[in-house]
């Protein structure tokens, strides 16, 4: 079975491609790339031709920070529904976090996830293993076993490793198996009881605040530990100006650190929390205008390597509660692409920067060979984007089981038109 995508404008920064090309796919791999009119006249008579005129074709997008909730919290999301939502959002690969039940802290849980994904997932699923047993920050997991079972990184995401000495061992041990450490930076004592960003707005609403410093002291600590251990460190969901200053400085000094942010940190601020709408409750919390500006600047100047969703679907009941009792998190995998495209539309970044942050960099940081590229012989993971389609997001449009999005009702522009995983078109 072969496929021809004709008429699309191809953007693949790794190969410095930014022009109209015709793409041929055979047996799940890219078989040919041709300038307009240069394609061989003789083609496979069974080949299906897709007319992609007016669309942009990119390497398959990769969301390196999602919560698929399975096993254990299937009422929130499953591998099947989460990956379907990912495909609808334009992603061909996702890295799923370990805070499931049981926690992905052993090769057997990892194998459960990969096995389930093989059967039910419509995009590639790369598990992230836990740093410590049960995410408790006390005992190391069997990283070697977990890597061999399919884990591409380790993270206690959702919970920080509070003990600095423990974190040092995590980094050293991860380095042993060349695993990336993804750090959820939050000082639990400083953030204790917090519901939203600490500031004038939290004071008016009477909600306990989480100061920026709760994130920043941990970013500083982990950067120093990465320097000490020479481990590859990736800071998850960066939300503050101060954290970015620390990371930028560390990069300048040559520390092996990368970082990501999520669209809500460059789209929203704590001021947007009105009427105690729990869809705006997320951790780290929506910060101030200053922080939002710094995040946008960080995306522009490259301090921020990756944009990821931190997709955190919840059941309606967990959000339909007073703000204090509502769960943290945004169901965001479907809105990453349109929201990041808004940065392209407003001239903050180029389309090629977008592809870097949503595909090439995540592939590189996670070490996913053959991903994030468009070249002959590579796996045909591709995303076809309609950058012009305008729509208003409705609850019913959300494919994920979790409808907890603060972007419901918002006018968005641009979305995935089709995704191909190993050459197979996924219906979205």
Partner 1 sequence: MGIELKHLLDVDTLSKEDIFFILDTAESFKEITSRDIKKVPTLRGKTVINLFFESSTRTRTSFEIAGKRLSADTINISATSSSVTKGETLLDTLRNLEAMNPDVIVLRHPASGAAHFLAKHAACAVINAGDGQHAHPTQALLDLMTIRERRKGGPAGLKLTIAGDITRSRVARSNIKLLNKVGIDVSVCAPASMIPAGIETMKVRVFHNMKDALSGADIVMMLRIQKERAGKSLFPTLREYSRYFSLNKETIKYAKKDVIVMHPGPMNRGVEISSQIADGELSVILPQVANGLALRMALLYLLAGGAKQ
Interacting residues toward partner 1 by CB under 8 A: 195, 198-209, 211, 275-276, 317, 320-325
Nearest Cα neighbor of 283 from 101, 179, 199, 159 is 159
Residue with smaller CB distance to partner 1, 206 or 254: 206
* Cα dihedral across residues 52, 53, 59, 65: positive or negative: negative
Give the span between the Cα atoms of 54 and 57, in whole angstroms.
10
306 within 8 A of 365, measured Cβ to Cβ: yes
- Closer to partner 1 by CB, 114 or 208: give it: 208
Least separation in angstroms between CB 198 and partner 1 = 5
Chain centre distance of CA 114: 18
Minimum CB separation of residue 210 from partner 1 in Å reads 11
Residue 331 region by backbone torsions, left for phi larger than 0, else alpha for psi between -120 and 50, else beta: beta
Please say if 317 is a catalytic residue: no
Smaller CB separation from partner 1, 329 or 372: 329
Least distance (Å) between residue 288 CB and partner 1: 9
**Distance in Å, CB of 328 to partner 1, minimum:** 15
CA Rg value for the chain: 21
Cβ proximity to partner 1, 60 vs 329, nearer residue: 329
Question: From the CB of 325, what's the least distance to partner 1, in Å?
Answer: 6
Tokens for 301, please give them: 């100047």
Place of tokens 């012989």: 377
Measured from the CB atom, is 165 or 204 closer to partner 1?
A: 204
Nearer to partner 1, 325 or 391 (CB): 325
Active-site position among 310, 317, 381, 386: 310
What's the min distance (Å) between Cβ of 355 and partner 1?
A: 39
Q: Which is nearer to partner 1, 46 or 275 (CB)?
A: 275
How far apart are the two ends of the chain, measured CA to CA in Å? 20
Cβ at position 220, least distance to partner 1 in Å: 21
The answer to whether 325 touches 413, Cβ cutoff 8 Å, is no
Q: Could you list the active site residues?
A: 310
């Amino acid at each position: 079975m072969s496929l021809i995508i004709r008429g699309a404008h191809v953007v693949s920064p790794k190969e410095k491609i930014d022009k109209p090309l015709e793409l041929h796919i055979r047996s799940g791999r890219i078989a040919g790339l041709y300038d307009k009119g240069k394609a061989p006249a003789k083609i496979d008579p069974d080949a299906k031709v897709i007319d992609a005129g007016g669309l942009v074709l990119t390497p398959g997008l990769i969301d390196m920070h999602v919560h698929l909730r399975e096993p254990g919290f299937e009422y929130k999301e499953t591998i099947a529904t989460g990956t379907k939502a990912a495909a609808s959002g334009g992603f061909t690969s996702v890295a799923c976090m370990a805070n499931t039940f049981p926690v992905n802290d052993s090769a057997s849980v990892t194998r459960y996830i990969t096995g389930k994904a093989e059967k039910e997932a419509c995009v590639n699923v790369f598990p992230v293993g836990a740093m410590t047993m049960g995410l408790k920050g006390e005992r190391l997991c069997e990283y070697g076993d977990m890597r061999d079972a399919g884990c591409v990184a380790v993270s206690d995401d959702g919970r920080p490793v509070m003990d600095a000495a423990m974190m040092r061992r995590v980094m050293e041990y991860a380095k042993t198996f060349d695993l990336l450490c993804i750090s959820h930076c939050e000082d639990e004592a400083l953030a204790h009881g917090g519901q939203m960003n600490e500031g004038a707005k939290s004071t008016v609403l009477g909600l306990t605040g989480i100061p920026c410093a709760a994130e920043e002291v941990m970013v500083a600590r982990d950067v120093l530990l990465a320097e000490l251990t020479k481990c590859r460190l990736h800071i998850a969901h960066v939300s503050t100006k101060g954290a970015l200053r620390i990371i930028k400085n560390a990069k300048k000094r040559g520390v092996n650190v990368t970082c990501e942010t999520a669209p809500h940190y460059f789209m929203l601020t704590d001021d947007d929390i009105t009427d105690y709408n729990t869809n705006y409750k997320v951790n780290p919390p929506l910060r101030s205008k200053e922080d939002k500006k710094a995040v946008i600047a960080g995306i522009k100047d490259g301090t921020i390597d990756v944009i990821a969703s931190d997709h955190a679907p919840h059941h309606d009941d967990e959000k339909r509660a007073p703000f204090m009792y509502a769960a943290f998190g945004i169901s965001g995998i479907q809105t990453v692409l349109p929201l990041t495209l808004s940065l392209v539309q407003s001239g903050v970044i180029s389309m090629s920067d977008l592809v870097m942050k949503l595909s090439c960099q995540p592939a590189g940081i996670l070490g996913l060979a053959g991903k994030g590229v468009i070249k002959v012989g590579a796996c045909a993971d591709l995303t076809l984007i309609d950058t012009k389609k305008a729509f208003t997001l409705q609850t019913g449009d959300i494919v994920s089981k979790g409808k907890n999005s603060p972007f419901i009702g918002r006018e968005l522009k641009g979305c995935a038109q089709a995704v191909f995983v190993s050459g197979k078109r996924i219906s979205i």
